[in-house]
Structure 1
Amino acid sequence: MKIREAHIEDAEKIAIVHVDSWKTTYKDIISESHLSNLSVENRMKSWLWTFENLNVHEKIFVAEDRAGKIVGFSSGGRSRNDEFKHDGELYAIYLLKDYQRLGLGKMLFNSVVESLKDNGYSSMMLWVLKDNPSLEFYKAQGGQIIGQKGITIGGNNLVELAIGWDRK
């Protein structure tokens, strides 16, 4: 298993992981009709746009299994949230279900943390759905709840929590 910086050629494989992990992670949280309408094609277009429009210090990492298959990804950069003091943000982190609880999530998380540190950021935050089982993972990494907001996804009214780390 290894973590590496992602390239635009990885967009389709990242999109596959993104869609598959949404369908398993959010199965009982977001409506089935919304999840069943997610498409790799649309997600790939979004990832291609992201790669072509990366801002300074934004990085995308992928986790590969021993055969070189992309099984997870993470991304982060400058915080997009003015309401918090944290200057860095973990934008996304997803792993295929079969590859969870093997240490890859922590490796993907730390890749973003180290990238932020290397670029002079001193703290980090992220948004996570309150009902997301990964919330416990973020708490185990030392994250503290620093805020919350309502969000609507697929007709579901949900609560999203802001998790923060000082001096990561």
Structure 2
Amino acid sequence: MDLRIRAMTPDDCEAVAAVRIDGWRWAYAGLMPRAYLDALSVEADAARRRGRLADGDGTVVNVVAERDGAVVGWACFGPCRDEDAPPGAEELYALYVRPDNVSTGVGRALMDTWLERATAGGRSPLLLWVLEENDRARRFYEKAGFTPDGAREPFEAGGVDVPEVRYARTLTRAG
């Protein structure tokens, strides 16, 4: 059951979309309306992923976690999109793990990959957004050295406000 982290390819788009949608439905159950989560489409998400990979300029990095030939996790990161971010800031746009692989080290391996690449590239601070009420994800990010930085923004899902909070971590050359 070796875990391998590798660059995402266009052939992974369907599997990554399934990881993301299943991850949303599992992690956000009770935080977002069930109808909103049920309406998410793997096919539409996979098409968006293919388009983003094809149109990408290399600044956004997509990696997958693969176990026994199956994609079990995905992370995406790149330049921070926040207007108030300092130069050199990088953002984790997404990190999802198949629900049956939560707490097996997949998320940690994806996080470690991001931290290693950001450290090697001299990127800092690292920022990410998480649903304010997503306690499990917040604990995960806090264990990885991230702390809330006070920024908060609205996010609307199916007519319900589910605010996000920003987490930050400063890296040194040693990580």
TM range (shorter): over 0.9
Which segments of 5 or more consecutive residues in structure 1 lack a partner in the other structure?
A: none
Residue 75 of structure 1 is matched in structure 2 by 76
Q: Aligned residues: percent identity?
A: 27
Residue 164 of structure 1 is matched in structure 2 by 168
Instruction: Give the distance between the partners of 2:158 and 2:118, measured in 1 at CA.
Output: 32
TM-score (norm: length of structure 2): 0.90
Answer whether contact 2:72 2:106 (CA < 8 A) is retained: no
1:150 to 151, 154, 161: 154
Most deviating of 118-127 and 136-145: 118-127
2:19 to 12, 17, 25: 17
- Number of positions where the alignment pairs a residue of Structure 1 with one of Structure 2: 167
Instruction: Give the distance between the partners of 2:42 and 2:70, measured in 1 at CA.
Output: 16
1:110 aligns with 2:112: yes
2:139 to 132, 136, 151: 136
Match of 1:96, as an amino acid? R
The CA deviation string for residues 130-154 of structure 1, in whole angstroms up to 9 with x for no partner, is: 1112111001111010111121111
Answer whether contact 1:72 1:96 (CA < 8 A) is retained: yes
The CA deviation string for residues 36-60 of structure 1, in whole angstroms up to 9 with x for no partner, is: 1011111001111121122333211
Residue 95 of structure 1 is matched in structure 2 by 97
Quote the offset at 1:159 in angstroms: 1.3
Residue 47 of structure 1 is matched in structure 2 by 49
TM-score (norm: length of structure 1): 0.93
Which segments of 5 or more consecutive residues in structure 2 lack a partner in the other structure?
A: none
Instruction: Give the distance between the partners of 2:46 and 2:159, measured in 1 at CA.
Output: 23
Most deviating of 22-31 and 76-85: 76-85
Answer whether contact 1:57 1:116 (CA < 8 A) is retained: no
Is the partner of 1:34 in helix, strand or coil?
helix
1:125 to 107, 124, 127: 127
The CA deviation string for residues 16-71 of structure 1, in whole angstroms up to 9 with x for no partner, is: 11111111111111101101101111100111112112233321111111x21101
